[in-house]
Amino acid sequence: MAVNTRQSRIPETRLFSSCPRDWIAFGNKCYYFSDDGRNWTSSQAFCASFGANLVKFDSKEELNFLERHTDSCDHWIGLRRESPQRSWKWTDNTEFSNLAEVRGSGDCAYLNGVGISSGRFYTEQKWICSKPSSYVHLVLWRSVGNPCSSGVPILGPNGFGGMEPSAGR
C-alpha cells in the first residue's frame, strides 16, 4: 500500500503596522519626538514634509503615552487659537474636546510631563509629529502535511515579502 506524502501549502496573510525610522508606533499612529527646537510654524512645516502634522491626541491613553515620552521637556502639539477668547483648534481645524486643561494665555499649545500649556508661536522648543501607521501585508506559506518543510522568501503581489514553498526541500 502506497502512502501519500504529498505536501500542500496554504498562504497566510498577516498585517503589520510600520513606522518610519526614528518614529515610535502607538495604537494606529506613528510619532516623531524632535531633538532640536523650532517655533510652532516651523515645527508644523517639518511634520508636513513627512506627510504628518503636529500631534493630535484623541484619548487620555494617547495623552499619557505622549506625556511619558516628553522627558518633561516642552514639545509643541497641534493645538492653536486666534486669541485667548477663542476656542482651541487642531491643525485640521477640528475643535479641541477639552480632554485636558490648556494652561496659559498663549496662541499655541505645548505638552510636557505635567500637562498642556500654551505659549507664543515664535518660541523655539521641541515638537511632536504624528501620522497614521502604514500597514504591511506579508504572505506566509504554511506547509500542511509535513511540519518540517521550509520556504523561501518571495515578493507578493503588493510588493512585500512573504514565504513561498521551496522547490526540492
Kindly give the confidence (pLDDT) of every residue in the chain, 169 residues in length, as a single tens digit, with 9 standing for 90 and above. Answer: 555 555 667 777 766 668 999 999 999 999 999 999 999 999 999 999 999 999 999 999 999 999 999 988 999 999 999 998 999 999 999 999 988 999 999 999 999 988 999 999 999 999 999 999 876 656 666 666 655 545 544 444 444 444 444 444 3
Identify the pLDDT of residue 12: 72
28-143: which CATH number, 3.40.50.2300, 3.40.50.300, 3.40.50.970, 3.10.100.10? Answer: 3.10.100.10
Predicted TM-score (pTM) of the model is: 0.71
Cell numbers for 28 = 494606529
Q: Are 150 and 8 in contact (CB under 8 A)?
A: no
With beta carbons less than 8 A apart as the criterion, state whether 144 and 9 touch: yes
- Spatial separation of the C-alpha atoms in residues 46 and 78, rounded to whole Å: 12
What pLDDT does 134 receive? 78
Q: What is the pLDDT of residue 86?
A: 92
